[in-house]
Structure 1
Amino acid sequence: MWAAPVWAQFEETQGAVPRVLTPARLDQPVSEVPASVTVIDRELIHASGARELYEVMRLVPGMSVAKTDGNLPSVAYHGTQARDQRRMLVLLDGRSVYQPGFARVNWNAIPVALEDVERIEVTRGPASAAYGANAFVGVINIITRDPRDVGGQQARLRLGNNGIRDARVAASQQFDQGAWRLSVNDQRDDGYDAGLAPLDTGDSKRTTTVNGRAVWEPGYRDTLTLHAGGSRTRLDRPYERGLQDIAEYTDESVERADRLFLGLDWQRQFSSSHQLKVSVYAQHNDEETNLDLCFNDPLTGNGGPGGGLFFSKELRDLYLANGGDLDQTLASAPADPAVQNRYATLLANGGEPFCGTGWLDVSETRYDLEIQDTLQFSEWARLVAGINVRHDRGESRAYLSGTAENVSHRLFANLAVNPLAPVTVSLGGFWEHDDISGELFSPRAGINWEVLPGHTLRAVYARAVRTPDIYEDQANINLEIRDLPPSYADRQALLGWAPAYFFVNQQSPGTVQPERIRSRELGYYGRFTAGALGAMELDLRYFQEELWDLVSGQLNPFNFEPENDGKVRHRGTEAQLSWRPTASHLLRLTGARIHTEANQGAEQRFAARDSAGALWYWRLGGGWWWSTAYHLARDYNDYPFERIDAQIGRRQRLGPTELEWSLLLQQPLNDEPVVFDENRYQDDQRYWLTVTVNF
């Protein structure tokens, strides 16, 4: 069935080393890969009780996870900046959901539900040698369920406090030479509504996702896989502080977004040692946020027609003449003759307030083609190599004043050799050229030595880059005012130009260079099988990371500082332990201690020096099960995060139908803000009841 844990496989697999696909694009035992890896399978997802995808990332040591602005999750490995996570690649079935135009991962809008996920593989450490620029500090690879492994239909309903109302329907079918599955999921809640800025206007959220996958095997050598889906989100957004100083909001701001994707994979198995894979996908994202405002008169501070001065050509000219200095522009405006003439024209137009709507709009499109060839030369050598061509297009009237594009060409190769039976040497490199950054190369080298059966030492060296996005490289911010009252219809006469833009304008110098990282890692992986004590798996990682040429400044319409002046150094230790004493118990512990040094305060806000987690899952018998989890991060921007979760549930057969219910409680253990002082919602207890029917 759709959500059943894989208990039946426990006895057969407790002595086997798990295999992963992500770190080097090769199917390898986790003990041989050139990286530290965290695997979150369906059992762990089920045990965590997570309602949203981003929440399971708390099971990864060293991962910073929080809602930094009410309904916007932030997820970053070795977190630095709290609001702009531009340095980690997220894949969904091999498709990058790292958005091309504005360098971000929107966790609310990833078009997949947790119930559709088979496993998540997290490569902890730079992986640009396998995936190119933007796999800067790591890779999260979300792998959905193969329709050949599921059957039947599923319906799910979840209800809880804070307006939690979730629903899901899913279906799958096997047919000759193939199978398909399709799910529709709707999640909504009222957020926290703390009554404090910026949440005083509400932070409700609604997300609808569609995810489908079909597999067809026309012959025993060939497999065709179709991926398709999309998402629609609606988020209440807080007011922009910079605008609140000069205007009054007349309606709530709402972010609306639509996303669609379509992908096709063809795999040809030439032999047991040679495989070819061709992947092509297209994806499109549309977002817009409304700003409904009545602007105050800049000279009197009151409402009225004088507010139109903020959108006059004369004030824009004065702003440019003052070198983009906002304070100097407003201070000199009362003495500027051109500005004063425009002000008199607006006052003569009548007493109607200057009210209108601005739109923050973003449209992004990506087309991607990749050919990957995997060859095993002998028992001791395997190579994966390939080529990739990608076309990214960004369009925004507000942020780009039009359309911008970027085309990249890429070559990659990763080699794994076993010169001696207990030693694996991994070498990899990724060459790429794009229109923004030119030529780049990211190498990685690793050696794994199995000093004793089941116990492996690991050493890895890697360099990686994060290329500037279209926005950083080609921003031309112009906020147009629309939907003005009828008396302002002649904008050319009243404001000096048409269309009319907010006087503040920001432009990228086009000189931003790629961010860079150098990483050194020493690690240990051990797997213990001790009979009555069950199976235990331990991974330790000591690392040193140096990041430089970071774009650390703000990149918003009021403060735009795209300079490569940021530097960060991380060093620390991470550990993860999984212990299965019996088939009925699972204990998972994670911990990290990271010392961060940075020359910019913004680069330390999301870097927790100490973090830890514990998860215990107990199958009680009779279909009953229990789980409890503890999460700690000390600190995010000097504020600790600490929470305990508890969950109880039961699965039972009712004729041909399987019924499952669970009740989960999330209890914060302090009332500190989350990252920023205004996010005072950590003392908000949450609970929900979930009922699932499989038939």
Structure 2
Amino acid sequence: MPHFQREQGRCVAINPRASLPLSLLALLATGEVLGDDLFDNSQAMPEVLTATRLKQSPAAVPGSVTVLDSALIKASGARSLPELLRLVPGMLVVPQSGNLTTVNYHGSSANQARRMQVLVDGRSVYRAGFAQVDWNDIPVAIEDIERIEVFRGPNTVSYGANALMAVINVLTRAPRDSHGTRLKHTRGQRGINDWYASHGQGWENGDMRLSLSGLQDDGFDQRDEDNDFRDSKRLNRLNLSISQELDATQSLEWQLALKEGTNQVDNRYEPIFPVAAQPWEQDRDSDVRARDFASSLRWNLDFNPEHSLYVQTNLQQWERLREWRACEGQLAFSPQLGQLWALSPRYTNRLSQHLEAGNFTPPTGTPEQMTLATQVLQQAYSTLDPTTRTLTHSCGLINEDARESRFDFEVQDTLSLSENLRLVSGLSYRHDRADSEVYLNGKLSRDTWSLFSQFEWHINQHWLLQGGAMVEDASTTSPSLSPRLALNYLITPAHGLRAVYSEAVRTPDMFENHADWRYRVRDLKPTLAGQSEADYFATAAGPGNLEQEVMRSRELGYNGHFSNIGLHLDIKLFYDEIDNLISEPLKVYQFMPTNGNRLRLKGAETELNWQMGMRDRLRLGYAYIDYDASHRIDRRLTPRNSGSAGWLRDWGHNWSSALFYYGADQLNEYRFERLDLRVAKRFSVADSTLELAAVMQQRLDDEPLSWEANNYQQRHLLYFSAELEF
């Protein structure tokens, strides 16, 4: 039955079945029912920093921001950063294997997540050489994270190229809030064996936190019915954070992060030419050893409450070390075959098919192609075993090591020109370097200068105008300008409507644009004409003239905080256009990246966070995406509907629980639904606190996880943790 409510002297019927967002907007519009809340500024408003580099209330932000706080992070039971990001509307988590994950916002390619900026305490962990974020290898433990801010939309104006579709900023606990000792151990099915230990202490005007952690599991069970999936991961991390106040206006912050680990990788190389190699002659595994280093130093200077400045420098290095042995017909090292491949990979594939069928007649082609093909066929015939009809083969080592390093320097100035006008501006320089014998044939580097500025102008009590731009000049591309303009109407400081237009770019990475992909095979046995080294015939080269991808984004939205009922609501409508899109798969047998693709995205997102009294918290997130993509790969990943729901409950007597649902109707063409339950109990022992927790994950679908090979023997996962604080 409907109930009635008086509004401006008349009665109106309220349908209890109406959607919650519409009901809330209706209540907001009446003003009388929630008037005390709407105009009550007595409670401190939450603030976010990632959107504009200025501290702002969510209602004043020029875009949509998701905040995952420490309570939500702990309640989720997540062991890795990608699992946490399932709580963000429109964020798609796509495991490619047990130790390699792709995270995209609003889709595009499932293989490469090249269009998001990822920060840890403001330090970018995006690898510019190969356009990658190693999500499972980011050297920060879940237990050290205080909050995660996700700006859902383009933000090149604040963080430069590669912040094309979203920005994820992971903020760790401040050393001053980390005093004491914490120990935690997690064990469970699928080889889960995690540990964490941290200690924090303070001294006069200074604080420190040191944490050590490890993570290990077995990955997926099997690729198919007969073959195990070698995709386990093992890593260890060290994080040191120190803060020191120099005087009343100055402070220093220093961070150090180290990580080492091993990711299993199958060597599934299959010879192109028929050979009689024995199985033991070729490695069936080719694990990747990962070693990362990062250090940052930041000097903060507060001239006065209206003017502050900081100078920050970062130094990082990534190493991915991999060496493996493979066998191939000696014909694969023929210089003539390499010349033929350079002329036409398609014709070379046809020649390979002729050889596989035992046909020693060259396929029809140009005179130059057929001349080279005849020479190759003569070489093949001379090494053919007439009994087995296979070619003489050689086995050798391939070094696939890749190293990247970065030096980053940034100066930022924040100034309040008046009570109504704030300005943030800055300058940054970044030097990126990549080194790979296989993918780059040596070393490449790129220097990038950036100049940015943004303003926030409160025209009056209700209207807020924001704008800014970043000019970026990289040594490998032409300069770019990324502007943004936003108009917010603040119904109250806690409730705002927004209209945003922004442009963003993504600079092609070194590998896309300047690849020199070739395999030098060493320690060949048997040797080739007495030589123990040779080059594999298949090579690839980057075009060298790729332009920046360009995005134009339009957004309408509402953000409101109903403090008297503990409800926070965000609604977003968007229309995004990406041109000059680089979508082609980057494979040595098909390396043809171009700027000839486009992507159109439109839809709606909503996020609701409701603290229902002292014991219950409800969290909902939903995204609807309608897309039009010119390349089939960009159509594989994006789901029409995706979302999450969470219920956190404090049962009293130190018992708590959290129930989460995650779902997407298409995750790389596979449906995904999962239910997570965490139950925890806290005990007080002398001056210590012990928490015991159990997490169960239950898949509700019956499909592989994003790829055909990603399978578990059981649809559920159970693991337990014990955490001691003293």
TM-score by length of 1: 0.91
Name the structure 2 match of 1:687: 718
SS at match of 1:216: strand
What SS is found at the alignment partner of 1:285? strand
Q: 1:394 aligns with which of 418, 425, 434?
A: 434
Cα displacement string for residues 570-618 of structure 1 (whole angstroms, at most 9, x for unaligned residues): 1000000011111222110111111111011100222111012111111
Q: Is the partner of 2:501 in helix, strand or coil?
A: strand
What is the SS of the residue equivalent to 2:85?
A: helix
Counterpart for residue 300 of structure 1: none
Once residues 667 and 93 of structure 1 are traced to their aligned partners in structure 2, the CA distance between those partners, rounded to angstroms, is 33
**CA–CA separation in structure 2 for the residues paired with 1:382 and 1:369:** 24
**What is the rounded CA distance, in whole Å, between the counterparts of 2:659 and 2:344 in structure 1?**
59
Q: How does 1:504-653 map to 2 (within 5 A)?
A: 504-530=538-564, 534-653=565-684
Aligned pairs (5 A) from 1:39-78: 39-78=67-106
CA offsets per residue over residues 317-356 of structure 1, 9 Å max, x none? 22224366441343577454543564477679x9985222
Matches within 5 A, 1:249-268: 249-268=282-301
Q: Equivalent residue of 2:596, what SS?
A: strand
Is the contact made by 2:468 and 2:484 (CA closer than 8 Å) also made in structure 1? yes
Structure 2: distance between partners of 1:431 and 1:351: 57
Task: Give the 5 Å matches for 1:193-592.
Answer: 193-196=221-224, 200-240=228-268, 249-295=282-328, 307-322=329-344, 325-330=347-352, 334=360, 335=362, 336-340=373-377, 342-343=379-380, 353-452=393-492, 454-485=494-525, 487-488=526-527, 491=528, 493=529, 499-530=533-564, 534-592=565-623
Counterpart position of 1:24? 52
| Equivalent position amino acid for 2:562 in 1 | F
* Pairing 1:106–2:137 present: no
Kindly indicate whether the alpha-carbon contact (under 8 Å) linking 1:326 and 1:504 is maintained by their aligned counterparts in 2.
Answer: no
Aligned counterparts of 2:41 and 2:379: Cα–Cα separation in 1: 77
Deviation for aligned residue 1:692: 0.8
Partner Cα distance (2:274, 2:211) in 1? 46
Letter in 1 for 2:536: F
CA distance, structure 2, for counterparts of residue 61 and residue 207 of structure 1 = 29
Distance 1:453 1:270, change over 3 A: closer
Residue deviations 1:524-552, cap 9 Å, x none?
0111133xxx3100000000001111110
Within 5 Å, which residues of 2 pair with 1:130-141?
Answer: 130-141=158-169
Residue aligned with 1:47, SS = helix
Alpha-carbon deviations, 1:109-167, whole Å to 9, x = none?
A: 10101111111100011000111100000100001111011111111111000111111
1:603 aligned partner, one-letter code: D
Kindly report which structure 2 residues correspond to 1:119-130, keeping only aligned pairs within 5 A, or say none.
119-130=147-158
Tell me, which stretches of 5 or more residues in structure 1 are unaligned?
Answer: 1-11, 296-306
Give the whole-Å Cα distance in 1 for the aligned partners of 2:580 and 2:375. Answer: 42
1:198 & 1:365 partners in 2: Cα distance?
A: 40
Q: CA deviation at 1:666?
A: 0.3
**Partner of residue 301, structure 1:** none
Does the C-alpha gap of structure 1 residues 337 and 68 become closer, same or farther in structure 2, counting only changes over 3 Å?
Answer: closer
Deviation at 1:663, TM superposition (A): 0.3
| Alpha-carbon displacement from aligned partner over 1:471-520 (angstroms, at most 9, x marks no partner) | 111101011112333x41xx4x357xx74111001001201111111100
C-alpha distance in 1 between matches for 2:125 and 2:686: 41
Deviates more, 1:167-176 or 1:681-690: 681-690
Q: Which has the larger radius of gyration?
A: 2
Distance 1:326 1:678 in 2: 29
Deviating more after overlay: 31-40 vs 315-324: 315-324
User: How many residues end up aligned between the 2 structures?
Assistant: 663
Structure 2 vs 1, CA of residues 245 and 288 (structure 1 numbering), >3 Å: closer, same or farther?
farther
- Aligned to 1:438, what secondary structure does the other structure show? coil
Task: Give SS of 2:340's match.
Answer: helix
Shift of 1:186: 0.7
Unaligned runs of 5+ in 2: 1-39, 363-372
On the 8 A contact 1:668/1:682 being kept in 2, the answer is no
Q: Secondary structure at the match of 1:594?
A: strand
The alignment's C-alpha RMSD in Å is 2.3
Q: 1:243 and 1:632, CA in 2 relative to 1: closer, same or farther beyond 3 A?
A: farther
The normalised TM-score by structure 2 is: 0.88
Contact 1:671 1:682 survives alignment (8 Å): no
Q: Distance in 2 between matches of 1:404 and 1:198?
A: 42
Alignment pair present for 1:165 and 2:190: no
For 2:137, give the aligned amino acid: A
Deviates more, 1:350-359 or 1:467-476: 350-359
Partners of 1:387 and 1:542 in 2: how far apart? 33
Cα distance in 2 for partners of 1:354, 1:448 equals 67
What CA distance in whole angstroms lies between the structure 2 residues aligned with 1:539 and 1:198? Answer: 48
Q: Which residue of 2 aligns with 1:671?
A: 702
Comparing 599-608 with 193-202, greater Cα deviation is found at 193-202
CA–CA distance in 2 between the matches of 1:450 and 1:637? 40
Aligned-pair CA distance for 1:314? 2.7
Identity rate, percent: 36
Q: Residues 36 and 241 (structure 1 numbering): CA distance in 2 closer, same or farther, change over 3 Å?
A: farther
Cross-structure match for 1:146: 174
User: In the alignment, is residue 182 of structure 1 matched against residue 206 of structure 2?
Assistant: no
